Amino acid sequence: MSILTTLIERARKNPKVIVLPEGQDPRVVAAANKAVEEKVVAKAVVLGSEAEIAEACAKAGIAARNFETIDYLNSGLFNDFAAEFCKMREKKGMTPEKAAATMKSRIYFGAMMCRRGLADGLVAGSIASTADMLRAAFHCIGTAPGIKIASSCFVMDLKSPTPSGDDVLLFADCGVNPNPNAQELVDIALATSATYRSLLGGQPKVAFLSFSTRGSADHEILNKVKEAAALMKEKIEAEKLDIVADGELQADAALVPGVAAAKAPGSPLAGGANILIFPDLNAGNIGYKLVQRLAKADAYGPILQGLAKPLNDLSRGCVSEDIFGQIVITVCQAK
């Protein structure tokens, strides 16, 4: 069974309201219609004018809509959102005029819906850039309690299980933070653990990766990984978190029990990591693409995480099935 099938079942048990700001995109309206048909959402809300949505539906071959729409520029919520946004950002020099101009961005309008509790999550990016998504997320939603930075992960649905038997791994950060420091790596690990639990329901087992295993090499670029692993263990113990973590570890020591026994005897992971934390964006992005292309794994993401509400990004080359998958993931992330 694919991970998406599992997540669809989880979403159906606890459907949420998801807003899709890019209603001018035929791929978006097709995904919204399917999400309602498949009963993975309590409600799909698509933003756009009636003319935009009618044209998108025609191009997508949708005769009967089963999603809701908001003409956001003419909505009664527009002035209310702009006023609230102005107040939120007044110390940053925000003015009523600038706030109204900002709220004309459908991504910001959708993010404010999430802030207000009118939607449980947002999926966009088929047209908007990742930078646009992140700005709206930071300005309107902010990070989750105890987390200082947003990050991303990829859900890697493997064709063959790892030596310890896992069919699914989470890789982070593969899309947002170029060179996180030790504390930021901890935040990424905590956010990825929360994502793992929301999507898969099991115990997060976190490996901080490097080219060294427990001091087998010595170089200044290893220091932040060693520090991050130590800080993570301290946090787990202090807050009694149901997470297992270790590092610094080479990938084989993190994933292969036999190698772990030889290279890292006594490791609490024992070669059974299900979350891999990469030291920087170079390694993370390269790593997930290698596994995707050479091992033929299905890669779902990037999934934004560490935010107070789930807002998920799309590739601008996505198809409607990709958008549907991100809707399902966002429903599972929403609490």
Q: Per-residue pLDDT tens for 17-39?
A: 999 999 999 999 999 999 999 99
Across the range 128-143, mean pLDDT stands at 90
Using the predicted structure, report yes or no on whether residue 329 has a pLDDT greater than 90.
Answer: yes
Using the predicted structure, report yes or no on whether residue 81 has a pLDDT greater than 70.
Answer: yes
pLDDT band per the 50, 70, 90 thresholds, residue 2: confident
Using the predicted structure, report yes or no on whether residue 131 has a pLDDT greater than 90.
Answer: no
Q: Where are the alpha helices (DSSP H) in 18-163?
A: 26-37, 50-60, 77-88, 96-102, 106-116, 130-136
Amino acid 300: pLDDT: 87
Amino acid 209: pLDDT: 97
pLDDT band per the 50, 70, 90 thresholds, residue 102: very high
Using the predicted structure, report yes or no on whether residue 215 has a pLDDT greater than 90.
Answer: no
Q: What is the CATH number of domain 151-299?
A: 3.40.50.10750
pLDDT tens column, 294-312:
999 998 888 999 999 999 9
Amino acid 51: pLDDT: 97
Tokens at 218, concatenated: 């010595």
In CATH, 3-142+309-333 is 3.40.50.970: no
Name the strands in the sheet holding 311-313, side by side, starting at the edge strand that comes first in the sequence: 68-70, 41-47, 16-20, 121-124, 311-313
The residue written with tokens 């606890």 in the block is: 14
Name the strands in the sheet holding 205-209, side by side, starting at the edge strand that comes first in the sequence: 244-249, 205-209, 275-277, 168-172, 151-157, 298-305
Amino acid 1: pLDDT: 65
Amino acid 146: pLDDT: 86
Average pLDDT over the chain, rounded to an integer: 94
- Strand 311-313 and strand 121-124: the pairing is parallel
Across the range 184-190, mean pLDDT stands at 97
Residue type at position 207:
A
Using the predicted structure, report yes or no on whether residue 268 has a pLDDT greater than 70.
Answer: yes
Across the range 80-89, mean pLDDT stands at 95
Amino acid 233: pLDDT: 97
Across the range 171-186, mean pLDDT stands at 95
The residue written with tokens 């933070």 in the block is: 177
Using the predicted structure, report yes or no on whether residue 61 has a pLDDT greater than 70.
Answer: yes
Portion of the chain with pLDDT greater than 70, in percent: 100
What b-and-e string marks burial along 57-78, b requiring 16 or more CB atoms within 10 Å of the CB? beebebeebebebbebeeeebb
Give the residue extent of every domain in the chain: 3-142+309-333, 151-299
User: What angle, rounded to 10 degrees, do the helices at 50-60 and 26-37 form?
Assistant: 80
Tokens at 105, concatenated: 């961005």
Asked if 3-142+309-333 and 151-299 have one fold, the answer is yes
Using the predicted structure, report yes or no on whether residue 217 has a pLDDT greater than 90.
Answer: no
Using the predicted structure, report yes or no on whether residue 229 has a pLDDT greater than 90.
Answer: yes
